[in-house]
Every structure is written in C-alpha cells, then in structure tokens.
Amino acid sequence: MNTPSTGAPLTLIQSGKVRELYDAGGDRLLMVASDRISAFDVIMEEPIPDKGRVLTAMTAYWLGELADLAPNHLISADAADFPEGAAGLPGGLEALAGRSMLVRRAQMLGIECIVRGYLAGSAYKEYEREGTVHGMAMPTGLRHADRLPEPIFTPSTKATEGHDLNIGMAQAVDLVGKAAAESAAELCLTAYARAAARAELQGIVICDTKFELGFIDGELSLCDEVLTPDSSRFWPADDCAPGTNPPSFDKQPLRDWLEAQPWDKQPPPPALPPEIVSATSTRYVDAYERVCGRRLQDWYGA
C-alpha cells in the first residue's frame, strides 16, 4: 500500500525550552509549543499534558480579542492549513494539532515588553529595597499584590544567556529607538487594559504580563505567545488580597514541590511524581478555561 508523499520535513530553525520553530517557506514559520516545562531555568524530564495546547489556544484567543489594536503574526492554528512538509515532522499533523501556529516572520523588537498592574515578583523586591519599580518612584506603604495606581510599562533586556535585566524607558530608547519604544509602550498598555478588563469579567486578575513585539511589513505587531500562564501572572479575583501571595494559574504547584526537595536547582532535576504532573496540567487547563471562558476540549487536538 502506497502512502501519500508528505515532502521533505520542514527545517528546524530553533529549539527552545518550550518551543520549536520551523521554516515553513517564504516569510512563514511554524511555531510548535511542546509539553516541556522548566523551573529555575532547568527543563524537567516529565512533560505536562495539554500544556502546549493551552499556550497555543490562549495565544490564538487573545490575538483575536486584540486584533483591532495591532497586527499580529498568526496565519492559522488549523493543521489543515500547514505546509506539506509539516506532515513529515515527528508524529505528523496529529501531533501538531492544537499546539502549533503557522505565523509570519517578524523583525523582533530587542526588548521584553512587560506591563504590571499589580505589585509582585521582581518589581515587589525592588520596591521593598528602593521604593521604586524599574526606577520609577511608587507611593509608600504598598504591599505585595497591591494594585498599582495605574498600569506601568516596565521593559527588560532580552538576554541570550542568563536572566533578562529590568531597565527603564530611557535604556529601552537607547536599545530600540525612541519611536519604537514609545509605540511599544502605548500598544502594550492598551492591550493590557483590554485584556485585564476582559479577564476581570471571568473573575481573574492579570497581575502582569510580558508581550513580544516585532515588525511585520513595517508595522509593530503582536508576536510569539500572548497572555498565557507562561508569560503572565493570573490570580483568582476572590483570592487576591493585598499583603498576601495569591495562587497563580501557572507552574506554581511544580515550583512549590521543587522548593521542598533537596535539590540544588542544577541539572538533572528530581523526577516529578504523577500527582505534581497532574496538578500542574490541571492548573494550565483551568487558566485557559477560566480566563478565556472556553473549553479546551473544543480546541484543536482534543
């Protein structure tokens, strides 16, 4: 029995902690989100079921919700639209379904574009030390998880090795130019405000989020993943009191378990017990269904 030709498999361009990027011909790329998960910059051995589908489904949802604000890189998340060579990748189209996006190439902006609406993470640590966030003076007396007077644009560097470094707007201008930095800030703050209002209707607080921007045909565009648990801190609104550490819809069960292990946070990581894998998967699925108000089983690849 002859099987139909799928052509040569697409060429792998880049493999990161979570994603593979393939050349899809012309100005197109195929972006594949795996179920890999990292913590403390170490990739775990065990995959998290449905994680890749969640990241892809949430990105597609938000690109649709924000489409009137800016162009984006998404061409299609339907595997039926992928180029012929996609079928030659490991697992074929069935393995790609729901976790892959055919996208346009972009000239990526050389900064990370972070918007913060609440005080948490590295911003809270800086505030404790200096009373500032990314060098900007903040009101006194703020507590962890306090809502900021207004959302702020807090860029960082894009580190090829090690950690990104928080920078101020003046440094962002030095890196990408005044027009690009100001356009990025305006777009990200507007997108955050839209997303935060939508999520609030679902009982979810978006504490902060990181956008990836790039230029497509000369226009600043939303790219990569958008408003997912890997790029954002989502909190349940009914469990988000200032002065507390609200539970996040992300890899927190995994981090908490790892913190309790006798591990030096260097490879190899400890083997994850099934209950931690399951709890983490459930947290990701809950993030999609609660934030987007949709069922994951209705997304591609179910």
What domains are there in the chain, each with its CATH number?
1-105 (3.30.200.20), 107-239 (3.30.470.20)
Q: Which of 172, 166, 206 is nearest to 66 (CA)?
A: 206
Say yes or no to pLDDT of 210 above 90. Answer: yes
Amino acid, single-letter form, for residue 68: D
**pTM of whole model > 0.85?**
yes
**pLDDT value for 183:** 98
**pLDDT value for 250:** 85
Q: What angle do CA 167, 173, 175 make, to 5 degrees?
A: 75
Site of tokens 């504490």: 207
- The Cα 190–Cα 291 span in angstroms is 18
Burial degree of 100 (CB within 10 A; 0-12, 13-18, 19+): buried
Distance of CA 171 to the CA centre of its chain: 23
| Strand partners for 132 | 137
Structure confidence by residue, pLDDT tens digits, 237-274: 999 999 999 998 888 889 889 999 999 999 999 999 99
**pLDDT value for 274:** 97
What percent of the chain is predicted at pLDDT more than 90?
89
**pLDDT value for 7:** 67
What pairing do the DSSP bridges indicate for beta strands 100-104 and 28-33? antiparallel
**pLDDT value for 29:** 98
Q: By the 8 A CB rule, do 122 and 207 touch?
A: no
Structure confidence by residue, pLDDT tens digits, 161-209: 667 888 999 999 999 999 999 999 999 999 999 999 999 999 999 999 9
- The Cα 139–Cα 264 span in angstroms is 37
Structure confidence by residue, pLDDT tens digits, 132-158: 998 999 999 999 999 999 999 999 998
Q: What is the DSSP string of 142-155?
A: --TTPEEEEEEE--
Say yes or no to pLDDT of 66 above 60. Answer: yes
| SS3 state at 98 | coil
Torsion angle of C-alpha atoms 98, 65, 285, 15, degrees rounded to 10: 50
Q: Region 26-50: what's the mean pLDDT?
A: 96
Amino acid, single-letter form, for residue 277: V
**pLDDT value for 5:** 47
Q: Which of 89, 110, 79 is nearest to 223 (CA)?
A: 110
**pLDDT value for 253:** 85
Report residue 300's pLDDT band, with 50, 70 and 90 as the boundaries: very high
Q: Locate all alpha helices (DSSP H) within the chain, ordered by sequence.
A: 51-65, 92-96, 121-130, 169-176, 178-201, 252-259, 274-292
